[in-house]
Chains A and B, each alone.
Chain A
């Protein structure tokens, strides 16, 4: 009986039940919808008030002259954007943001894939191994950066100390020269995230049915063929998700650079989020910061779109 009333609106059997039951079914459905409405309402309202409205405000402010120390001028202006075009620090930061996002995500994904392929089997201590992998990902990013800054310390740091004990050159000022600082930053970024990529890839690898590999074995496939013809195509959706998520995050990288180099030396590791923070929060130029925020948001959407276009192939999902 319950079954009939539930399927009523859609199926033929619904029209055959008596009108009394129909009425009851409708009121049940209406009650269900009302309950759903009240359950979802706070979430939607909150998201609009705390996330959507401020985002729209950012767009508006990017077209206004809004410095906290001056009175807000409501008239429309492109001055923030024209000022950005002539700001060479902005271009440096923009370039570094892209450079950092692309290379760090590439490194994280490749190392993560290697770790996942290696760990994709049963072995003793596997749980321990996975816990070890979880740790870098769960560590607060800014604390990770501070810890690495400590290890990079030229006098009392771990790296120079170990090099010295091994009798190797050991007077690197790791965070003192632009090239070394960039390399140092990449090492931290890869350490922090490759394990996350590895764990996600591992889950993806485990969802590939063993029978597919067995069938390939019967057909005499080599290990390389198994990798290129089975593993990679089946893993493609997972790789896509990791790439999109990580790139979106890497374009917004703030904690790691703040904790490690503060954008220095000079502007060599300054990216857009850090420059935005300096201009808007420290310099109180909300309009200018908002314009950078808009550009950053556009870049993020463009990257997400690009990846989905390139990597998303519906036929490989099935």
Chain B
């Protein structure tokens, strides 16, 4: 609080010195700058969103307006026909389920393991904590592309290719380092008295963790879960390599490989893309602040 008060005083002092004439000039300048600023904010916002808007428009276009020249920017009527085809005739419904099963399971597994390890590192006392945390974090720098070949071989050996396990297992462990890091950062900031209160209540370490810590760390778990889920939902390389059966493909792979290299059925693909973006849009609109804080926690700290 005091931090914000001191600068205010300084500003008012300066304004007093500069006098009324300069102040009004500055006001006009500030107004112009504000206008320019608002305009560029709108332009930048549009720049970030125009491909999505374009896909949304395309997915709702009637078939005949998909292939006009020049392109129809604003369709004269809207239809859900492309969505019906994408979910009915094309296998995008199946891809959707595959993506959900894999991402949800892997995220949960990652969260369980990551919360355990993150808790131990953040709040329990033992030697070589820092080293263990750094070693775990170092794993996140292992390039997945170098893992593709050996993991492909491993899963082939155990007949796991084209099963959900082939993605759940690597996704769980690829996002685990980040999960440990995020949970460690979150749990560190909780008051130290939590465990002590639990001890007084006779709960022991096990009870303190399961009955108290897990409950108060729900916000941290949600943030980590969102970031991990987004990563799993978007993953392409392993999904492309380990799922060679059409019926086992995940949504990104299904969209990228949908047949028709030259005469693309863009209406259907756009509809599938919009459906794939629904979880993303939901996460962004509901958990915007959490996502940003979690994302920057990894980068700024």
Interfacial residues, chain A to chain B (CB-CB below 8 A): 2, 29, 31-33, 35-37, 39-40, 42-44, 46-47, 50-55, 57-58, 61, 115, 118-119, 121, 123, 125, 127-136, 138-148, 150-151, 153, 155-158, 160-162, 164-165, 170, 191, 195-196, 199-200, 203-204, 207, 209-211, 214, 217-218, 237-238, 241-242, 245, 248, 251-252, 254-255, 258-259, 273, 276-277, 280-281, 286, 289-290, 293-294, 296-297, 300-301, 304
Partner of A131, one of B153, B180, B252, B288: B288
Q: Contacts A51-B173, A200-B295: A293 and B51 contacting too (C-beta < 8 A)?
A: no
A258 with B300: CB separation less than 8 A: no
B86 at the A interface (CB under 8 A): no
Given A58-B150, A125-B41, A138-B284, also A258-B73 (CB < 8 A): no
CB of A55 within 8 A of CB of B147, answer yes
**A131/B119 in contact, CB under 8 A:** no
Closest 4 pairs (CB-CB, A-B) = A161-B71, A54-B150, A293-B146, A203-B296
**1/0 per residue B137-151: CB within 8 Å of A?**
001011111111111
Closest to B114 in A: A43
**With contact pairs A156-B67, A199-B292 given, residues A119 and B141 touching in the complex (Cβ less than 8 Å):** no
**B1-15, CB under 8 A of A: which get 1 and which 0?**
001101100110010
Q: Is the CB of B146 within 8 A of A58?
A: yes
Do the beta carbons of A40 and B151 come within 8 Å of each other?
A: no
9 additional A-B residue pairs with CB within 8 Å, beyond A118-B44, A245-B299: A44-B132, A47-B176, A130-B288, A140-B251, A156-B71, A214-B6, A218-B10, A255-B252, A276-B148
In the bound complex, residues from chain B placing their C-beta under 8 Å from that of A37 are 126
Interface residues in B198-245 (C-beta closer than 8 Å to A): 199-200, 204-206, 209, 230, 233-234, 236-237, 240-241
Given A146-B255, A273-B145, residue A165 in contact with residue B116 (CB < 8 A): no
Cβ contacts under 8 Å, B148 to chain A: 276-277, 280-281
A36 engages B120 (CB within 8 Å): yes
What is B's interface to A at a CB cutoff of 8 Å? 3-4, 6-7, 10-11, 14, 37-38, 40-41, 44-45, 47-49, 51-52, 54-55, 58, 66-71, 73, 113-114, 116-117, 119-121, 124-126, 132, 136, 139, 141-154, 169-170, 172-174, 176-177, 180, 196, 199-200, 204-206, 209, 230, 233-234, 236-237, 240-241, 251-253, 255-256, 264, 266, 269-270, 273, 276-277, 280-281, 283-285, 288, 291-293, 295-296, 299-300
Q: Is the CB of A254 within 8 A of B236?
A: yes
Assess A286 versus B256: contact at CB under 8 Å? Given A147-B51, A203-B296.
no
A119 to B40, CA, bound (A): 10
> Which chain B residue lies CB-closest to A155?
B69
Q: How far is the CA of A250 from the CA of B144 in the complex (A)?
A: 13
Docked CA distance A141–B196 (Å): 46
Bound: A43/B184 CA distance, A? 14
Bound-complex Cα distance A33 to B73 (A): 64
* Closest Cβ neighbor of A166 among chain B residues: B70
Q: Which residues of chain B have C-beta atoms less than 8 A from A155's C-beta?
A: 67, 69
Interchain CB contact (< 8 A) of A31 among B3, B150, B205, B299:
B205
| Option from A130, A135, A160, A196 in Cβ contact (under 8 Å) with B52 | A135
Smallest beta-carbon distance B285→chain A, Å: 6
In angstroms, how far is the closest chain B Cβ from the Cβ of A63?
Answer: 14
Which residues of B sit under 8 angstroms from A156, Cβ to Cβ?
A: 66-69, 71, 266
Partner of A40, one of B132, B233, B241, B253: B132
Residue of A nearest to B242 (CB): A281
> Contact check: which of B38, B125, B299 meets A241 at CB < 8 Å?
B299
A46 to chain B: closest residue by CB: B173
Check if B117 sits within 8 Å of A43, measured CB to CB.
yes
B45 close to A40 (CB less than 8 A)? no
- Beyond A42-B113, A115-B44, whether A51 also contacts B296 by CB under 8 A is no
Contact, CB under 8 Å: B73 / A254: no
Whether B149 and A281, one on each chain, are in contact in the complex, defined by CB atoms closer than 8 angstroms, is yes
Closest to A121 in B: B37
Judging by beta carbons under 8 Å apart, are A210 and B4 in contact? yes
* Chain A residues whose C-beta falls within 8 Å of the C-beta of B169 in the assembled complex: 50
Q: Which residues of B contact A132 (CB under 8 A)?
A: 44-45, 48-49
A170 vs B69: C-alpha distance in the bound complex, in angstroms? 11
The residue in chain B whose Cβ has the minimal distance to the Cβ of A188 is B51
Contacts of B283 in A (CB 8 A): 138
A54-B147, A147-B273 known; A36 and B234 CB under 8 Å? no
A238 touches B299 (CB 8 A): yes
A281-B152 in contact (CB<8A): yes
